[in-house]
């Protein structure tokens, strides 16, 4: 009730807000404050009110208000609240930075994993391409070898079209006494008749010469006689 009456009085007198706060503090203090303390506070209030400069008068009342115990406690509470608010804001900012850093790390790890997977996939494709190329080259080599073998076989089975000197690698006679000759090129020739011919002797130079009607003869320059032969199957 004292505080209400003091506020109404100050409002009626047109005193500044700071003076109203000081008066309210005096009313709240009430009997707990000594008369001497109230008298000193009243003197200080009158001194502040007597200041003609508005800014200086405001500063005077602010200083007077700060000296009151209740307002000092309130100021400390306000500062403590500001400190706690600053600390909470700092904690929130730190937590936000930590979450952002974690998110960046996870994004970077995800990109690194994706890059590693792409590299591994490219390496697998390169290995598969090398294996396919190796198989193709191997198949081509086998095909070339088979073609060469067939050419050689065809050459062995192809009789000469003109007088051709040959090298006899092996010669033997069958039970009928007819000669068979294996040449160094792989061809095998056999004597077709025992009625005419020459005697085979080693270390002589022989030739095969085609005759009429698809016939062939084995001969040597050292003898005019020849042996009728044919290419064995």
pLDDT of 9 over the 50 cut: no
- pLDDT for 170 equals 93
Residue with the larger pLDDT of the pair 17 and 211: 211
Over the stretch 123-168, which tens digit does the pLDDT of each residue have?
999 999 999 999 999 999 999 999 998 887 777 678 888 999 999 9
Lowest mean pLDDT among 25-29, 98-102, 141-145, 213-217: 25-29
pLDDT of 178 over the 60 cut: yes
Using alpha carbons, list the distances in angstroms from residue 103 to 93, 109, 112, 115, 200: 15, 10, 14, 18, 98
Residue with the larger pLDDT of the pair 85 and 19: 85
- Per the prediction, the chain carries an average pLDDT of 79
Tokens representing 105 are: 């790390």
pLDDT of 71 over the 50 cut: yes
pLDDT of 1 over the 50 cut: no
Angular region, 186: left φ>0, alpha ψ -120 to 50, beta rest: left
Cβ count near 123 (within 10 Å): 10
The answer to whether 204 touches 219, Cβ cutoff 8 Å, is no
Over the stretch 45-60, which tens digit does the pLDDT of each residue have?
888 888 888 888 888 8
């Amino acid at each position: 009730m004292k505080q209400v009456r003091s506020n109404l009085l100050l409002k009626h007198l047109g005193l500044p807000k700071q003076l109203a706060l000081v008066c309210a503090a005096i009313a709240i203090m009430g009997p707990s404050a000594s008369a001497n303390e109230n008298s000193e506070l009243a003197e200080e209030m009158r001194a502040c009110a007597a200041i003609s400069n508005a800014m200086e008068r405001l500063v005077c009342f602010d200083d007077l208000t700060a000296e009151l115990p209740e307002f000092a406690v309130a100021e400390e509470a306000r500062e403590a609240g500001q400190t706690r608010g600053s600390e909470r804001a700092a904690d929130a900012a730190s937590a936000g930075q930590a979450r952002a850093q974690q998110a960046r790390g996870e994004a970077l790890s995800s990109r690194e994993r994706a890059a590693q997977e792409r590299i591994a996939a490219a390496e697998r494709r390169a290995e598969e391409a090398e294996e396919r190329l190796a198989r193709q080259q191997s198949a081509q080599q086998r095909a070339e070898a088979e073609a060469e073998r067939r050419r050689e076989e065809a050459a062995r089975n192809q009789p000469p079209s003109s007088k051709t000197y040959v090298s006899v690698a092996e010669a033997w006679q069958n039970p009928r006494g007819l000669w068979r000759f294996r040449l160094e090129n792989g061809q095998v020739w056999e004597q077709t008749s025992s009625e005419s011919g020459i005697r085979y002797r080693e270390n002589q130079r022989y030739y095969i010469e085609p005759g009429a009607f698809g016939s062939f003869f084995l001969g040597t320059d050292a003898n005019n006689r020849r042996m009728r032969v044919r290419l064995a199957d």
